[in-house]
Amino acid sequence: MRITVAHHLPASCQRWRDALARELPDAQVDIWGQGPAGSADYAIAWAAPGQEFFAQHDRLKAFFCTGAGVEKLLSSTDMPAAIPVIRLEDAGMGAQMADYCVYAVLHWLRRRGEYDEQQRAHVWKQLAANDVTDWPIGVFGLGVLGLHVAAAFRALGFNVNGFARSAHEHAGIQSFAEQGGAGDFAAFMRASRVLIIIAPLTPATQDLFNRETLALLPPSSYVINVARGGLLVEEDLIELLDRGHLGGAALDVFRKEPLPPDHPLWSNPKVRITPHVSALTVIGPSARQVAEKIRRLERGESVSGVVDRRRGY
């Protein structure tokens, strides 16, 4: 069995190759361009490598993505439609995502930004405290990562709403869904004072959070985007922040990355920016997950994480 690694970053290529070789000692694991001619059985990368790669590797049984989001792979015209695409499921990302979101919300509700400003001005003044029960959390996307985030907030005493494509039953989470849930998207938005966007970027979610839909949130609401920049219309977010309808935002992903130096989000005092770091791929546990799925595929067994190309995840 042969596995080829085609990650776009050379250092990551080597780390993935070494990790997979440790997990699958009987397999031949190489880096594309450094291995022999002919097709591998499995490939792994973050984005589609290009026509030359697929011309050589024309007998792939599956293509593994090194992340949870697969839009870079699916949007490539070079990616053959017949090859199954398999994404990572958590592998250490869920805990990171939960930490990121919890920190952002507590920083906001405990008014730490305002206290930082008071410290710089040498001002001693206690500000009114927020009650977590007054700030219901709305998690848009109840996949593996979204459930990690929802559980973290439930443990802190927050009321949690969850929105998914189909109805979910999870203890302590008020379920909203397109099909069979407690209500529709508008009801979910109106019921949430903190919106956490954590769903895949698909044709159905592209530009979903715009002027009209964000205005459904209660006044002074807070928005967190840890999904993909394409779900959120940045100009509309800025408008609602400037108008005072939204109280603030924490953004880890953007429509264009890196965020251009002259983008108005940089200087907006109500926005906290991080450079796409809310959940980084941890190669060790991720390689173990990929290796186990390869072993199952070799035994003719089914695996989870296979992407439905029609849905985009």
What residues are annotated to the active site? 228, 276
Q: Where are the alpha helices (DSSP H) in the chain?
A: 10-23, 51-56, 71-74, 93-109, 112-120, 144-155, 185-190, 211-214, 234-243, 283-298
The 8-class DSSP code of residue 232 comes to: B
**CB neighbours of residue 125 within 10 Å:** 8
Find, among 46, 45, 43, 47, the residue nearest to 35 by Cα: 43
List b or e across 15-40, with b for residues whose CB sees 16 or more CB atoms inside 10 angstroms.
bbbebbbebbeebebbebeebeeeeb
C-alpha span between 82 and 64 (Å, rounded)? 14
Q: Following DSSP, what letter does each residue of 25-45 receive, concatenated?
A: TTSEEEETTTS-SS--SEEEE
Amino acid at 300: G
Could you tell me how far CA 183 lies from the centroid of its own chain?
A: 24
Cβ–Cβ under 8 Å, residues 167 and 192: no
Find, among 230, 237, 270, 269, the residue nearest to 253 by Cα: 230
C-alpha span between 69 and 74 (Å, rounded)? 10
C-alpha span between 129 and 138 (Å, rounded)? 21
* Beta pairing, strands 173-179 & 194-197: unpaired
